[in-house]
Amino acid sequence: MSQKCRVYSKQDFVGLRNAGRVAAHILDYITQFVQKGVTTLELDRLCYEEILRHNATSATLGYNDYPRSTCISLNHVVCHGIPSERKLINGDILNIDITIILDGWYADTSRMYVVGKAPQKAIELIDVTYNAMMLGIGLVKPGAYIGDIGHAIETYVKSKKFSVVRDYCGHGIGRVFHDEPAVLHFGKPKTGRLLEPGNVFTIEPMINAGDYRTKLLSDGWTAITIDRSLSAQFEHTVGVTEDGCEIFTISPNGWNKPFYEIAK
């Protein structure tokens, strides 16, 4: 197996940047609708319509028969939650994950959202998960190894007494949805692929409040925590540059992380 990953050009980065901006915009746009009483299916429809208004398409709709334009993962759902008639209630935490295609370029990003006031523990989990993703992104540069990212994330998360999901990982992306490398959110430094300018991939740690193990529901998609503990996730699509990395899916509004109120 080759130790090299696909390399995208400076011109390709323009396409990725444009796709990334639209993907991040969709997550900004949906923020206003994440409220008590709305169903996750309504949120999905709103995303779908906004994606089309930007001349983009959803990469998840029809992907391996996945039925929707977003994944919406509530509370103990780790990832790939299918939007449904479930209404949001006060204290819910949820991840909205979207992958869009613009001019043939894929961008994949997700954030956490909070409905009303959430318990202190849930907020802590969200903060640690966001910090874990950003810590991993901070290590991306030519000459670094994929394993450096996972190791840093795992070490940090363990120090906060949370656990890293091992059944799902980040991935190369660009002209296709899921490509090499696999970006594990745990591991050993100086292992895995060596990064070079032009590599493009996601970092998307899923962090559990309890046990790291997951269980797949009978719908074939929804992954939940084995002990029903809360789970959180953030995801950015990044590209390796000459001296570091570029985050393609930064929020145009600066809403990379949720605002929240803590339940007393």
Tell me which of Co ion, ligand MF3, none is bound by residue 80, counting a contact when its beta carbon lies within the kind-specific cut-off of 5 to 8 angstroms. ligand MF3
Q: For residues 65 and 202, give the distance between their C-alpha atoms in angstroms, rounded to a whole number.
A: 22
Q: Which residues contact 75 (CB under 8 A, 6 or more apart)?
A: 92, 93, 94, 230, 231
Give phi and psi for 197, each to the nearest 5: -55, 135
Give phi and psi for 9, each to the nearest 5: -85, 170
Stretch that binds ligand MF3, among 37-45, 63-71, 139-147, 246-254 (CB under 6 A): 63-71
Tell me which of Co ion, ligand MF3, none is bound by residue 221, counting a contact when its beta carbon lies within the kind-specific cut-off of 5 to 8 angstroms. ligand MF3
Beta carbons within 10 angstroms of residue 104's beta carbon = 10
Q: In whole angstroms, how close is the CB of 162 to Co ion at the nearest point?
A: 20
Among 92, 97, 124, 154, binds Co ion (CB under 5 A): 97
Reduce the DSSP state of residue 131 to 3 states and report it: helix
Q: Which residues contact 69 (CB under 8 A, 6 or more apart)?
A: 44, 47, 48, 51, 58, 60, 61, 98
Among 73, 131, 202, 256, binds Co ion (CB under 5 A): 202
Q: Does 203 bind ligand MF3 (CB under 6 A)?
A: no
- One character per residue 206-245, x = contact with ligand MF3 (rule: CB under 6 A): ---------------x-------------x----------
Of the pair 34, 124, the CB lying nearest Co ion is at: 34
What residues make contact with ligand MF3 under the rule CB under 6 A?
60, 63-64, 66, 71, 80, 97, 99, 108, 202, 204, 221, 235
